[in-house]
Amino acid sequence: MEFNLFTRIIGGNDVLESLGDELTALGITRLFVVTDTRLKEAGIVEGVLRHLEGKNIQVAEIFDRCRPNSDIALVEEGARRIAACGADGLLAIGGGSNIDTAKGMNLVYTLGGQLLDHQGAFNISRPMKLPLAAIPTTAGTGSEVSLGAVIRDSGQQAKITFASPHLAPRLALLVPSLTAGMPPALTAATGFDVLSHAVEAYVSVNHNPFTDALALESIRYVKRYLVRAVANGGKDPEARYGMQVAATMAAMSFNVALLGAAHAVAHATGGLYGVPHGAANALVLPAVCAYNLDACPERYRTIAECLGVNTCGLDSKTAGEAGIAEMRAMRELCGLPATLSAVNIPASAIPALAELAEGDATIVTNPKPIGRAEIEAMLKTIAGD
């Protein structure tokens, strides 16, 4: 059994006041900021960087070209900009794509070559040259503490995974007010990403007591706060912060336990059709759980209980089915897609999706063996019209 913590985490609406001191403690004097145009134009980036006034930290460059499903070319361009401006530290502001992009930039800057030279899991042998701090503005991926990054290869129409403890940010600041502007659809999608992380980590073949505790508490938080956050928007800071904490706990769990087939299929739909990651997970998670149920019914019973299902008098399989039904009900309340046709994926694409998913690294720790034929059969059940 093994469990590691890689990232210092501080949270609350007042934590930005300590940003300068925290970055100074990491040895940063010239900061390369990785973000996107929307956050810059909304004044969020300026509001964050204002907290560096009076500190011995210069903003060397603001790279604001990140986008959902950032691709390899963007990452490699960013690495060149880091070298050109002489930065000695990185700050990622934004959602999971922005933070993953910063991880990829740091990887290329440190090891050189092309990003694809370093793909795969746990084959990065030395620490990154630059410390990375992350301020998430969504509550979903957990990239602010995770040791992985997923970058889109536009040429292959695939999402490529990079994983190493060396990629994890050194510092994460959870600021609930920065998520207050998330629209309901984004809140819902990123929230289901949290649920998929926690569920898949809990049933993973790599789970242990530490990952279990974090995953189950994350599921409880999602049940308590997700629908509230979607319905109430920025008027419910407790729900916003609850979802940030849930996202971070789930990522701390899957850092060690890893994930499963839902993420393998979600990566395939994102790679081939550009489906946003959270929506893709919402689409496939209940179907994957139904496939896995007979491999670990007691674990799915526990998940059902964390989702508020009264399992008294039910056998484990029936309780697990009730938990999966609750996932579907939450998905509907959140307005998320339930079929491939709802995200404009034709049934004719199922073989290609299955082939891509079968080769995804996350499928290895699924609790039940699953291959191309099983993935195709599962996807046919959610094809839609």
Hey, how many other C-beta atoms are within 10 angstroms of the C-beta on 205? 14
pLDDT-derived band of residue 25, with 50, 70 and 90 as boundaries? very high
Contacts of 380 (CB under 8 A, 6+ apart): 347, 350
- Identify the helix (H) or strand (E) that includes residue 379: helix 372-380
The answer to whether the pTM exceeds 0.95 is: no
Query: Which residues, at least 6 apart from 360, have a Cβ–Cβ distance to it below 8 Å?
Result: 161, 263, 264, 267, 268
- Helix (H, G, I), strand (E, B), or coil: what is residue 344? coil
Q: Is the pLDDT of residue 237 over 80?
A: yes
DSSP code of 118? Answer: G
- As a whole number of angstroms, the distance between CA 188 and CA 280 comes to 12
For 63-73, what is the mean pLDDT? 90
So what's the pLDDT on residue 121? 66
Q: What is the mean pLDDT of residues 279-306?
A: 98
Element (H, E) at 354: helix 350-358
Q: Is the pLDDT of residue 17 over 80?
A: yes
Go through the domains of the chain in sequence order and give each one's CATH number: 8-179 (3.40.50.1970), 184-380 (1.20.1090.10)
* 149-153, 253-257, 271-275: range with highest mean pLDDT: 253-257
> Which neighbouring-strand residues pair with 337?
none
Q: Which residue has the tokens 């974090």?
A: 214
Residue 72 above 70 pLDDT?
Answer: yes
Distance CA 265, CA 360 (A): 8
91: left (phi over 0), alpha (psi -120 to 50) or beta: beta
Q: What is the mean pLDDT of the chain?
A: 95
Cα(74)–Cα(113) distance, integer angstroms: 14
Quote the CA–CA distance of 357 and 309 in Å, as a whole number: 31
The four Cα atoms 145, 6, 26, 19 give a dihedral, to 10 degrees, of: 40
Q: What is the pLDDT of residues 166-216, one digit of tens each?
A: 999 999 999 999 999 999 999 999 999 999 999 999 999 999 999 999 999
> Each residue of 345-383: pLDDT tens digit?
999 999 999 999 999 989 999 999 999 999 999 999 999
Tell me the per-residue pLDDT of 124-168, one tens digit each, with 9 for 90 and over.
Answer: 889 999 999 999 999 999 999 999 998 988 777 778 889 899 999
Percent of the chain residues topping a pLDDT of 70: 100
User: Is the pLDDT at 385 greater than 90, yes or no?
Assistant: no
Q: Which two tokens stand for residue 200?
A: 């898949």
